[in-house]
Chain A
Amino acid sequence: GAGVSQSPSNKVTEKGKDVELRCDPISGHTALYWYRQSLGQGLEFLIYFQGNSAPDKSGLPSDRFSAERTGGSVSTLTIQRTQQEDSAVYLCASSLEDRQRLYNEKLFFGSGTQLSVL
């Protein structure tokens, strides 16, 4: 597709259940980011993937959160034993991250997954 695709667009789950959120980045983009945005809040960095390098997981809020990126393309963010405070919009973004053009790097966001934990 032409842009970053996320699925599902909305997810309602019960407290304690596991959820998986999917992100299809723009083809050829080497960098992939996950962010979380709570109502009225800014974007909270969760995790960053770049090519075959080890991901930067420094933003994951707890060990209930994990993410993987298979084949350098699709990424899945998994939240285990969901809690009500996990309710937020989860945004995925990708960029080409051409090292020659770093200072003009543009991040393309998907439309997000609205997660509601009841």
Chain B
Amino acid sequence: RKEVEQDPGPFNVPEGATVAFNCTYSNSASQSFFWYRQDCRKEPKLLMSVYSSGNEDGRFTAQLNRASQYISLLIRDSKLSDSATYLCVVVHYGGATNKLIFGTGTLLAVQP
């Protein structure tokens, strides 16, 4: 079983739709969580951190459920420019070693 799992999609949604992605992780000791965005043939870029209390950045809302070991990303009022792969990232901090584990990503295609 992969340490971080995501539905690969693709999620095909019309402009203006609300779409949600989930990500599950297996290591209960994981301490930090992020969503990264990766455009086609580009490097990943940080979209937002995920805090225990949930957090919002404009049209984007991230939530963490430690008990069930999953995080989610909600995108409201989808734009064409939101089309990308969304990567869930889980971080373990340990002594001299920090390890960021990436999910395989969920592909979002927003249709006009």
Task: Determine the residue in chain A with the shortest Cβ distance to B93.
Answer: A102
A-B contact count (CB 8 A): 52
Whether the pair B104, A107 counts as a contact (CB closer than 8 A) is no
Q: A97 is contacted by which of B31, B44, B45, B98 (Cβ under 8 Å)?
A: B98
Q: B43 is contacted by which of A31, A48, A91, A104 (Cβ under 8 Å)?
A: A91
Whether the pair A107, B96 counts as a contact (CB closer than 8 A) is no
Closest 4 CB pairs of A and B: A42-B104, A109-B43, A43-B102, A53-B96
Q: How far is the CB of B102 from chain A (nearest CB, A)?
A: 4
A sample of 16 cross-chain residue pairs with beta-carbon separation below 8 angstroms, ordered by A number, consists of A42-B103, A42-B104, A45-B100, A45-B101, A48-B97, A53-B96, A97-B98, A103-B31, A103-B32, A103-B49, A104-B49, A105-B32, A105-B91, A107-B36, A107-B44, A111-B43
Q: How far is the CB of A70 from chain B (nearest CB, A)?
A: 19
Assess whether A50 is interfacial by the CB under 8 Å rule. yes
**Which residues of B lie under 8 Å from residue A45 when comparing CB positions?**
99-102
Report Cα–Cα, A2/B96, bound state, in Å: 27
Q: Which of A45, A53, A102, A105 has the most CB of B within 10 A?
A: A105
Assess whether B1 is interfacial by the CB under 8 Å rule. no
Q: Give the A-binding residues of B (Cβ under 8 A).
A: 31-32, 36, 42-46, 49, 87, 91, 93, 96-105
Q: Is the interface of B mostly helix, strand, loop or mixed?
A: strand
For A, the interface residue count at a CB cutoff of 8 angstroms equals 24
Given A35-B102, A41-B104, 15 further pairs, Cβ under 8 A: A31-B98, A43-B44, A45-B99, A45-B100, A48-B99, A54-B96, A56-B99, A91-B44, A102-B93, A102-B98, A103-B49, A104-B49, A107-B44, A109-B45, A112-B43
